[in-house]
Amino acid sequence: MKNRDNRTTTEIDAHMARATSAANSGMTFALDEYCCLICNAYLRKQIFQSDLPVIQDLTKFFMMIANLKNYSKLTEILVNTNNLTKNIKNLHLENDFQQVLSDTKKNQLRSLCNIKPTKDSRLHGDDDFYAKYARDLETNWVRNAQRFSGMKLKKSLNILDIGCGFGFFSHIAEFNGHNVDSIDMPNASPILKEASKLLKIKKHEFTIKKKVPLINLKKKFDVVTAFQIFFNGHCSKELWDVEEWRYFLLDLHDNILNDNGVVHLVFNAEHDNLKPIIIDGEQVFLGKKSVEEFFKPFFVMISGISRLENKMYAVLTKNNIKDACHTNLFKKRSYNIKASVSKYGF
């Protein structure tokens, strides 16, 4: 590595090797830590032309962990200097790079697994259901980081995160410069409540019900997200049909979305302790063929997320919601789907 002494070159190479190993092993938090360390310890002092391969790898790593704030700063440097070929005299990072989730926050979040549900908790008889998110922060983080990076949001936007749960997606979006309001049902779990407080999520308690308008937050949103949707009565006798979805989407259209607003929906494949919905030998992620028929044109493939989630990822714009809701696609179908444990997972 030109322009750097042997000791410094050896240190940078060693840290980059650790970062690469963390990336290959799916150790997201370690990857973020090593990348920030390299930037703060070495690139704050001076950036040389020979640092190009290192910076290019760092941009890839920051993208992987949804640290787009740091990714953007490095990318801007590469653009402004034509890949470090001009205007690099006295070039250096102006400020320290921050991890998306601090070490202190990680330790605090992991300790939440010891919190017991109360008698008012949604799943008070299942101690482990939400504790798993605290015990395995990394898996939970990776899933939400992939979702956020896959959305490729370019500027500061108003985002409504429906069913925020542990709060990682909301936190990632806020860290990267977006303004996020989150919705989740009250008394879901004290673990989720404490996680939201630690992550400083702007959460509004509200339970989504059939043909009931969403909470009025007195502003419109550019993006609405709802991941691992369960509010539609999934795997239950209260499973939403086309009319319920029509009401929900038109409510988003009329009262929630800005003119160029976009809705990202990821449906739930199944639920712990409940069987997935099977119709004619085929797993139906939305629960009813009539509903799947409507959403089929809106399913998209998002690079970087899991293969299973890609089968359930729908994106709708404000421009096409109203058109879709007033077509024949959204007329109630005549499929005869009854509650049956053996066939439909109810």
Is residue 339 domain-shared with residue 302, that is, in the same domain?
yes
- Average pLDDT for 238-263: 93
Is residue 285 domain-shared with residue 328, that is, in the same domain?
yes
Q: Which residues have CB under 8 Å from 270's CB, separation 6+?
A: 235, 276, 277, 345
Query: Within 10 Å of residue 127's Cβ, how many Cβ atoms?
Result: 14
- Average pLDDT for 9-15: 97
Is residue 185 domain-shared with residue 53, that is, in the same domain?
no
Q: Is residue 83 within 8 Å of residue 91, measured between CB atoms?
A: no
Q: Work out how many domains the chain is built from and give that number.
A: 2
Of the spans 24-38, 124-138, 277-291, which averages the highest pLDDT? 24-38
Q: Which residues have CB under 8 Å from 260's CB, separation 6+?
A: 222, 317, 318, 319
Q: pLDDT of 22-58, one tens digit each?
A: 999 989 999 999 999 999 999 999 999 999 999 999 9
Is residue 127 domain-shared with residue 34, that is, in the same domain?
no
Final residue of a structural domain among 80, 98, 116: 80
Q: Which residues have CB under 8 Å from 302's CB, separation 6+?
A: 147, 150, 151, 309, 310, 313
Per-residue DSSP letters for 274-291? BPPPEETTEE-TTSSHHH
SS3 15: helix
Is residue 75 domain-shared with residue 115, that is, in the same domain?
no
- Judge whether 90 lies within some domain: no
Q: Residue 322 maps to which CATH number?
A: 3.40.50.150
Is residue 70 domain-shared with residue 122, that is, in the same domain?
no
Query: Within 10 Å of residue 167's Cβ, how many Cβ atoms?
Result: 28
Residue 128 pLDDT grade (very low, low, confident, very high; cuts 50, 70, 90) = low
Q: Quick one: CA dihedral 116, 118, 124, 125, positive or negative?
A: positive
Q: Quick one: CA dihedral 254, 184, 223, 225, positive or negative?
A: negative
Q: Which residues have CB under 8 Å from 200's CB, separation 6+?
A: 171, 174
- Average pLDDT for 13-19: 97
Sole residue written with tokens 């990682």: 168
- Judge whether 158 lies within some domain: yes
The yes-or-no verdict on residue 283 having pLDDT over 50 is yes
- Judge whether 295 lies within some domain: yes
Final residue of a structural domain among 31, 62, 80: 80
- Judge whether 87 lies within some domain: no
Distance separating alpha carbons of residues 81 and 68, to the nearest angstrom = 20
Is residue 42 domain-shared with residue 188, that is, in the same domain?
no
pLDDT at 26: 87
Q: Which residues have CB under 8 Å from 212's CB, separation 6+?
A: none
SS3 60: helix
pLDDT at 88: 93
Listed residue (68, 32, 58) closest to 177, CA to CA: 68
Listed residue (331, 224, 225, 345) closest to 285, CA to CA: 345
pLDDT at 297: 87
Global pTM reads: 0.86
- Judge whether 114 lies within some domain: yes
Is residue 149 domain-shared with residue 210, that is, in the same domain?
yes
For residue 225, give the H/E element and its range.
Answer: strand 221-229
Is residue 205 domain-shared with residue 279, that is, in the same domain?
yes
What percentage of the chain has pLDDT greater than the value 70? 86
Strand 257-267 to 313-317 pairing:
antiparallel
Higher pLDDT, 274 or 119: 119
Q: pLDDT of 151-170, one tens digit each?
A: 999 889 999 999 999 999 99
Strand 282-283 to 278-279 pairing:
antiparallel
The yes-or-no verdict on residue 338 having pLDDT over 50 is no
Is residue 208 domain-shared with residue 315, that is, in the same domain?
yes
Q: Give 205's strand partners.
A: 184
- Judge whether 313 lies within some domain: yes
Instruction: Determine the structural domain holding residue 120 and report its residue range.
Output: 108-344
Is residue 119 domain-shared with residue 38, that is, in the same domain?
no
Q: Is residue 221 within 8 Å of residue 332, measured between CB atoms?
A: no
Distance separating alpha carbons of residues 256 and 252, to the nearest angstrom = 5
Is residue 150 domain-shared with residue 206, that is, in the same domain?
yes
The yes-or-no verdict on residue 279 having pLDDT over 90 is no
pLDDT at 346: 30
pLDDT at 336: 37
- Average pLDDT for 173-180: 96
pLDDT at 268: 77
Q: pLDDT of 289-333, one tens digit each?
A: 888 888 888 888 887 777 767 678 899 999 889 888 876 655 544
pLDDT at 188: 79
The yes-or-no verdict on residue 335 having pLDDT over 50 is no
Q: pLDDT of 62-116, one tens digit each?
A: 999 999 999 999 999 999 999 999 999 999 999 999 999 999 999 999 999 998 8
pLDDT at 337: 35
- Judge whether 97 lies within some domain: no
Please compute Rg for the chain using Cα positions. Answer: 23
